[in-house]
Each structure stands twice: as C-alpha cells, then as structure tokens.
Chains A and B, each alone.
Chain A
C-alpha cells in the first residue's frame, strides 16, 4: 500500500489502538473486581438491570459484521441486501419471550448447551456442542479478521499486528472481569457506537444527497436497485433466519438471559431489537453510496469504513476507527466469556473434574478464555475469504438449531431423536445448498429441513418431558 494512500497515518492508528486498548482493560478490571465467585464471573451475579441488560444486548449485536458486513450486503445485493441485514433485529425481538422462559425454566442455569443436555440427552448435547463451538469460533474469527482488515485499510497497520492487538486487548479484560467486565464495557461501547453512527449518518447525508446516490446507481449499477434481483430476494429470509438461529442457540444470549434479574430479560431484548433495527440501514447506505463517490473497492467487506473515512476525512477516519473498535470489542469479549462458560461447564467439568469447587472452575474458565483467544488468533492468521464467506458457512448449522430449541422450551412432546435428526439433517442439507446454490440460501434450507424433522418426529412419536428436570439441575427451583 503506497505511503499516504490511507486515511489515517499508521502512527495515529497505533495511538488510537493504544488509548482504547488501555481504556477497555482498565474499565474491564474495574468492573470485573466483583467477579470473584463463579456466578459473578459467568453470569454477573444474576442481577443485571434493564439499562445494562439492554445496552449489552445492543452492543453485542452491533458487531463488526453490522458495521462492515451490512455495507457489503448493500454493495453486493443492493437495497434488498440492506433490508435483509436489518432483519437480524428479529432475532433479538423474538428472543425476548424466550429469555423470560429460559430464566423461569432454569433459574440456576449457565449455558444453552446445558439446556440441550437436560432437555434432549447426550446425543443431542454432542451435536449441539459441536455446532455451538463451531459457530462461536467462526464468529470470533470473522471479527478478528475484521479488526485486522479495518486497521490495514484505515491506517495501513499490517493485518497481523492489528488483528493480534485487538484480540489481545479483549482477552485481557475478559480474563480479569468475566461477564461483569463484558457487560460494563458493553454499556460504554454501546453509547459510543450509537453516537458515532448518528454522527456518521448525518455527516454522510449532508455530503452525498440521496438523489445523487440513486442517480448514480440507476446509471451504473442498476441491478442494485432492482426489485427482481434473484440472489438478493433469496438473501432476505436467509439472513433473517440466520439472525434468529444465531441468537436462539448461542450461549452469548443465553448467558445474558441468566444474568438479567427476573422480569428484565423480555423488556431488555425487545428494547435492544428496536434500537438495533436502524443501524444496518445506516451502515448499508455507505455501501450504496460507494459507486456515487467514485471509491474503488478492493474488498467488499471494508466498503463501509472506507466510504465514511473518505467522505469525512481525517476526523471521519478517527470516528470510524473508534466505532468499529467498540463494536469489535463488545462482541469478541462476549464470545470469549460465553465460549469459556460452555467449555468449562459442559466439557471440562463433566469429563475431567466432576467434583471441582466453584473457585477451581473460576480459574479454569480464565485459562479457557486464553486458550480460545489463542485458537482464534491462529485461525485468523491466514486471512482466508471475505467476512461473509467465513461467517455464513455456520449459517445452516445455527439455522438447524432453531426448532429444536423453541420446541424444547415450549413443547413437552418434542423428543430426543427428533432434535438430533433435525440438527444433523438441517446442517447437512443446508451445507449442500451453500455449495450448490450459494451462501444466501443455506440457512433458509437448513431451517426448513430442521422444522419438518422436528414437527414430523414429534407427531409420529410424541414424548412427554417433565419441565422440573430443567429447574432441578442445581437443587432449589420453581417447578
């Protein structure tokens, strides 16, 4: 990259990285000082209120994918693509009633994997664990890559340096503060992100009028405005279902449901869904504006930050840097914490230390965070594919978990074999669609197969689950 071809100098990039890195670590350690017990470390004492609960849901769901993938969607798939990305808010909105149900059904629960184990048994637990860990890793890898790509595009910082520093910062503060640190930093990060997005939106619209963007697209990229754009039409519900699958199955969202005070979860997730809804539309507009302002896009996944930084100059570059760094940190820390909970409670404890004390589990969870960070770093090193291809590979897998989860939470007749078959068949057929048709169909097809399997097996061989099994895991519970 020739000297002076980036919006920020490398020195400015390193300075911003240093300032925000130190700030997150300091804040994480400050908020995390209460995370001495296992409950404090993993589920923030189960006492998170509405403001923090809403902020953590918003900040976690505004990932690097929202700020970088939504513009990519718009640039690749046009107006449909922009709307398709915003449908991911339905995941948060629909999780609201689930959060309430989860908190009631498992008052002492820790993870989504624990629910599947208790509800459907060992075979479903193994399949779900693999899906959950694979998804967590692809999400984290996509964000580690996004960090490296962004710093390289904005400030010319070599990909490997940028990616490594961002991962290191997140590992350090999550390590010290667990979910307390994650939720505390999420609050600050969500405020910065929301303010930054509003400033960028106003500034962009004042410099590039909508009519100019529309005119340029109509003349040079007409397919991006075409209502009959086949790949974009297919992407709409695929993305919606991907968002639902991500949230319904991932322990990132379950751990927050466990962490929120009783009665808070439903309101927090509903509010978060409505706050999140317009953000991909703003981010997506950047992708549509790219052709109008004549920017050459070398990688579609950096189009959003590049357009903002080019239009708004140095100050815009700094703003974009901060917003994307916040969105990256708020999601990477959540994933580190949630993955560590799953590995510690659902893999290491039952296999290696069934009688371990909470204090020992707390220490093991810290070590797992370091290990997960290292694995993510190693996978990020080769910089493979674009963000979309990395992330959407997990689409059919998470889509196949939607029906086993909602049927498991509400339908006592859904059975073990049906859940296992639904996840296996849904994932398999969905991956086939990924290869044969395209990533924008894989989740949809995987979810459809999973739905038919769950409903079919339940009607053919109805079970009768005793809900008290879920609550009884740690003794005292409401039936």
Chain B
C-alpha cells in the first residue's frame, strides 16, 4: 500500500519536472527540472522493485540495481550539460537559448 503512495508521488514529480523543462527559459532551470523529472521516474520504478518482494528480499534487486546505474548516468549527463552551459556563458556572456538573441550577442562580440 505504501509503495503505491510513493508511486503516485513519483508520477506527480515527473509531471512537475516536465512542466518546468518546457516552460523555464533559463538553461540551469531546465537542467534542474530534468533532474526532478528523472527522480520521479526512478521512484515509479522503485514501486515496481518494492512490489517484487520475494524469496526473503524486501524488494526485487534487479530494478534497484538498474536505478543505481541510472542515477550515475543522470549525474554524468547533468555534469556535461552544466559544462556546456558555462562554456556558453564564457563565449557569449549570456545563457539564453533564444536563437535570435544568441545571434545578436555573438555578432556584437565579433565587432
């Protein structure tokens, strides 16, 4: 029963993350929202693991191991995204993803 509560909680977190990913204009906030989305999806998978309790284990170890692997890969992707963002800031002095603004910024840098 408790597992279901966390499953629903994960579903809502995933929805909130998706909303933030689309509507946030700042790249850093998009990265944050993407991590919230990921944590929600992991929690939903955690319910699958908990419900698979059998053979004396409190949960199915296979989904748990997959989530651990997923968390490490998510960190690697986040580190890569942050490095790209900081490089963009270094090169253009701005962090906007708006195509028009970026073009203007880099033009003014060139002159």
| A and B physically associate | no
Q: Which residues in B have some Cβ–Cβ distance to A below 8 Å?
A: none
